[in-house]
């Protein structure tokens, strides 16, 4: 049984519970409460529907940072296609899907935003003006062998070993090498390290271009624009030019570095969590704490290539274990300025 919100082509809207739905059947039944508080099943014609929003179950934490979902961090192996759907009324919906064909009566879209309250959305093709369908960036990267998941998983595993522990259990970690892992002795056992520079990470612009999200000409335009705005990163410029979205940037980085990502524009961070780390640290590293879970502090960064270094530096200022998630640079900056207002 799913709680749903149904929006009709004529503008009407209904909320209720849905036991089953098949777009190929002409009618489905919505369970609602009548004026007497009694449950009744209302027949709904599939052709009359504009959208059906399947809501996440009550009590299920919608945050992507929840412990149950944090390991499912890469969209690369989940849904293969990205859709940007423009409806006839001007509404824009973007997400991922298992399959799409313009001759289908309808299709499902799953939000790329892990904090979205909807589990999935059904869209009636009759309500659609245009659909831009692309291979999902993360999936395409793996299909093209642009990244090696095993290598990145290994680097992430090694990062966990480098979390600060009690002084008597380890020797001091040297964090002066910005491009590689250091050797840590844990209770006399030496851990093997594979330097980050040996893992074949690709430049963001190259990744997005080869995945077909932008053309080589658009990449040239963005690089030229970045040269005139040296304080901006290429991802920001690509978003400013409307070539890609902040979500595209996060999914690309999450897929390449095998880290979770979060949309900071759609979540509220508790002030006591956001301010756990000193202001000079969050501004210097451009990071922001977003969640505290038992002995773990989840910190957002837009620079995953330095995730081991950032994690260890942040760990110096808290007794909590630091875990990193990816977020869009501008959203991190906005959060920092919100919780640490610039002094006038």
Q: pLDDT tens-digit profile of 164-200? A: 443 334 333 333 323 333 323 333 333 343 444 444 5
Query: Residue 75's closest CA among 86, 66, 85, 64?
Result: 64
Q: Could you list the residue range(s) of the whole structural domain that residue 95 is in?
A: 2-55+81-135
Same domain, 272 and 321: yes
Same domain, 207 and 193: no
Cα distance between residue 253 and residue 9, in whole Å? 38
Residue 13 is predicted with a pLDDT of 95
Residue 187 is predicted with a pLDDT of 37
Same domain, 16 and 89: yes
Same domain, 224 and 172: no
Query: What is the residue-wise DSSP string for 116-172?
Result: -SEEEEEEEGGGEEEEEEEE-HHHHHHHTTSS-HHHHHHHHHHHHHTS---GGGBPP
**Quick check: 64 and 250 in contact, CB under 8 A?**
no
- Would you say the C-alpha torsion 73, 78, 84, 86 has a positive or negative sign? negative
Cα distance between residue 185 and residue 169, in whole Å? 9
pTM of the model: 0.55
Which of the listed residues 214, 242, 257 is the one where a domain comes to its end?
257
Cα distance between residue 266 and residue 98, in whole Å? 25
- Considering only residues 285 and 311, tell me which one the structure prediction assigns the higher pLDDT: 285
What is the percentage of the chain residues whose pLDDT exceeds 70?
71
β-partners of residue 30 are 18, 42
Q: What is the mean pLDDT of residues 33-42?
A: 86
Helix 149-161 / helix 246-257 crossing angle, nearest 10 deg: 80
pLDDT digits (tens, 9 = 90+) for 275-287: 999 999 999 999 9
pLDDT digits (tens, 9 = 90+) for 74-132: 333 345 677 889 999 999 888 888 778 888 999 998 887 666 788 889 999 999 999 98
Same domain, 188 and 307: no
Same domain, 23 and 117: yes
pLDDT at 216 over 70: yes
pLDDT at 147 over 90: no
């Amino acid at each position: 049984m799913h709680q749903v919100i149904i929006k009709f082509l004529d503008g009407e809207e209904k909320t209720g519970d849905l036991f089953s739905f098949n777009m190929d059947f002409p009618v489905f039944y919505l369970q609602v409460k009548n004026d007497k508080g009694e449950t009744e099943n209302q027949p709904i014609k599939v052709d009359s529907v504009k959208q059906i929003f399947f809501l996440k179950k009550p009590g299920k934490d919608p945050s992507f940072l929840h412990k149950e979902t944090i390991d499912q961090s890469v969209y690369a192996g989940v849904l293969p296609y990205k859709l940007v759907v423009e409806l006839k009324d001007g509404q824009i919906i973007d997400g991922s899907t298992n399959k799409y064909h313009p001759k289908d009566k309808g299709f499902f879209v799953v939000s790329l935003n892990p904090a979205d309250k909807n589990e999935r959305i059904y869209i009636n093709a009759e309500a659609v003006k245009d659909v831009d369908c692309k291979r999902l960036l993360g999936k395409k990267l793996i299909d093209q062998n642009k990244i090696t998941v095993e290598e990145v998983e290994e680097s992430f595993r090694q990062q966990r070993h480098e979390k600060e522990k009690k002084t008597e259990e380890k020797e001091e970690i040297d964090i002066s090498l910005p491009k590689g892992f250091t050797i840590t002795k844990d209770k006399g056992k030496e851990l093997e390290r594979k330097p980050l520079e040996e893992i074949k990470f690709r430049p963001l612009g190259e990744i997005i271009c080869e995945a077909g999200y932008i053309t080589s000409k658009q990449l040239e335009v963005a690089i030229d624009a970045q040269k005139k705005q040296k304080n901006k990163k290429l991802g920001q410029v690509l978003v400013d030019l409307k070539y890609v979205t902040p979500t595209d940037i996060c999914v690309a980085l999450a897929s390449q570095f095998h880290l979770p990502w979060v949309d900071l524009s759609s979540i509220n961070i508790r002030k006591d969590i956001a301010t756990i780390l000193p202001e000079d640290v969050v501004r210097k590293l451009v990071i922001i704490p977003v969640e505290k879970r038992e002995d773990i502090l989840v910190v957002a960064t837009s620079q995953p290539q330095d995730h081991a270094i950032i994690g260890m530096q942040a760990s110096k200022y808290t007794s909590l274990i630091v875990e990193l998630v990816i977020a869009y640079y501008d959203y991190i900056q906005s959060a920092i300025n919100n919780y640490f207002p610039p002094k006038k």
